[in-house]
Amino acid sequence: MLLLKLFFAFIQVGLFSVGGGYAAIPLIQEQIVNIYGLMTLEEFSDLITVAEMTPGPISINSATFVGMRIAGIPGVLICTIGCIIPSFCICLILAHFYYKYRTVSGVQVVLGAMRPAVVALIASAGASILMLGLFQAEIQDVVLGNIRVVELGIFAAALFILRKFKVSAIAIILGSGVTGTVIYALMGAI
């Protein structure tokens, strides 16, 4: 039965995608294209493009997209629920133990050592996005002459506003999208 197939496919995606959205892509491809043959490879690459262009976690986006294309709204619900069931069970258990033991001083010592790493991981994600924004390239392919001045200006202005005033992050993100598009449109570059 189709819905059941989808459900089990996405439980596996949820269960085995450790380490962020991009790790989930090959897994989804394996389940949806190779094992169950629910989509062609071409449809799948469309899906990834759309999932990257829209907000939200890539695996939820994929679950919704695949579910909708294959079985409409029931498909969307089945795929998404399948995708989050493993997260829900595992994180609930981890949350329980974390809040039970986090004040124990020994646990604090261990957690303390992990915090600088988390800061570094967030910084690294920020640096990657900045390079994509300013050069449309990853760090190893950056050519300084290709810097996009509009994006650089928006980045500097946005960071200044964030440090100086209490503005919501969402207003900054949307504001930079709108401002940049208007500038490029006025320049006749779209």
Residues 35-94 that bind other proteins (CB under 8 A): 46, 49-51, 53-61, 64-65, 68-69, 73, 76, 80, 83-84, 86-88, 90-92, 94
| 3-state DSSP assignment of residue 14 | helix
Amino acid identity of residue 12, one-letter, is Q
- Which of residues 35, 96, 141, 146 is near other proteins by CB under 8 A? 96
Phi, psi angle pair for 159, to nearest 5° = -65, -40
Please give the DSSP secondary-structure letter assigned to residue 147: -
Q: How far is the CB of 4 from other proteins (least distance, A)?
A: 20
Choose among 139, 114, 136: nearest CA to 124: 139
- Which of residues 116, 143, 144, 186 is near other proteins by CB under 8 A? 116
Nearer to other proteins, 1 or 73 (CB): 73
Strand (E) or helix (H) holding 33: none
What's the token pair of residue 125?
Answer: 């994600």
Q: How far is the CB of 37 from other proteins (least distance, A)?
A: 19
Question: In degrees to the nearest 10, what's the CA dihedral of 38, 64, 48, 45?
Answer: 20
Q: How far is the CB of 40 from other proteins (least distance, A)?
A: 15
Q: Is 170 in the site for other proteins (CB under 8 A)?
A: yes
Q: How far is the CB of 44 from other proteins (least distance, A)?
A: 13
Q: Is 119 in the site for other proteins (CB under 8 A)?
A: yes
- Which of residues 122, 137, 141, 146 is near other proteins by CB under 8 A? 122
Count Cβ atoms below 10 Å from residue 7 Cβ, excluding itself: 20
Binding segment for other proteins among 1-9, 18-26, 28-36 (CB under 8 A)? 18-26
Number of residues that bind other proteins (CB under 8 A): 100
Find out whether 28 and 41 touch, Cβ atoms under 8 Å.
no
